[in-house]
Amino acid sequence: MQLITSKIFKLLVLFYIEMNNESVYSESTVFAFKKTIFSPFLRPAFYKVMYSIFYNFFFRQHVSAFLPGRIPVTEVDHPLDEKIPFRPSWIKIYIDFTQFWIRMISFFIRHYKRKALVPIKDFILSMSDLYAFAAKVYTKNCSTTDRPFYIGRFRFFVIHLLDPHLYCIPSLHVMVVIHTYLQFTVIAKKLGEEKKLKEQLAEMKQGAAAITNAILFVKQHSVNCIPAALYAMTRFNPEFFPPKEAEKFACMLLSSAPKTKDEKKIKNPVHPCSAPDIEITDSDQTLIKAHILQLYYDFYEDGKIAKNWYDPLMEFLKSCDDENNNIHN
């Protein structure tokens, strides 16, 4: 009996160690699709989020592109953007933002099975709400940046083909990845596994920061788009993304993820520890982060007295228009 108990204990210890070392990045997105599509419980949520993404991001944006003039388009570039070099090598991490949140679904379902179904369904539905939330701005005022026409790599060709580049403020890339790492914490708490999954949570937060860095290096967004997204997330989820958390996240930007000796993580091209070098001087990094935080707090303070949460962003877009008109005149 003592021998059996000892073996069971060892197995539990091994499982705990394996779970602690398990990377969310090792998960399959195909597994998540199979589990959601073939689950009567999750399928309705899956259909709802697919519709929300298609309608609120792709359909509406392409309508604005093919029927110009219906919605104003504002250029939102900032002089600090020139301090960030265009680096095509970041493209793999940039396009990982969809897989980023889908892998999280795979992770929880594979490890926690039926226990994870309810919180995963809530997460999927919240992602649908997030796209509709951001569309409150997009349907009133589109925004764009000076994006290089580079199609030297196939992924860039696909981006230029499918993305009219009119939905820059707030950045959905940033909103999605922040929402994902926040919800990872929420689900871990609901499952009573917050301590056990602390390494995975840190990994997800680093991944969110790496993808946010990538939007700058592939020139899909301006530095102005990030504080707009941080502010939008504070209004979307004030409980889990208050100003203190927004500030912590902003301070992680333009910094490399901690190094690891884990070969699987190192060889994974989209893992944050495999991200290209940050080719920005320390002084410029300080300037960019200071701008992001200052603009975030400007939005946040203005939002306290605004009638609608998106009014500070609309005012900012108007100020960009005024500034652009003065430059051109």
Q: Which residues contact 99 (CB under 8 A, 6 or more apart)?
A: 29, 270
Residue 144 lies in a domain: yes
Confidence of residue 272 (pLDDT cuts 50, 70, 90): very high
Residue 13 lies in a domain: no
Confidence of residue 265 (pLDDT cuts 50, 70, 90): confident
Residue 20 lies in a domain: no
Of 161 and 296, more confident: 296
Query: Given CA atoms 128, 53, 34, 25 in this order, what sign does their dihedral have?
Result: negative
Closest to 282 in 3D by CA, of 256, 260, 259, 243: 256
Residue 9 lies in a domain: no
Residue 5 lies in a domain: no
The domain containing residue 144 runs over which residues? 26-328
Predicted confidence at residue 151, as pLDDT, reads: 87
Count the domains in the chain.
1
Mean of pLDDT over the chain: 91
Provide the 3-class DSSP secondary structure of residue 236.
helix
Is 230:246 a contact under the CB 8 Å cutoff? Answer: yes
Provide the 3-class DSSP secondary structure of residue 143.
strand
Residue 117 lies in a domain: yes
Residue 19 lies in a domain: no
Residue 6 lies in a domain: no
Predicted confidence at residue 2, as pLDDT, reads: 55
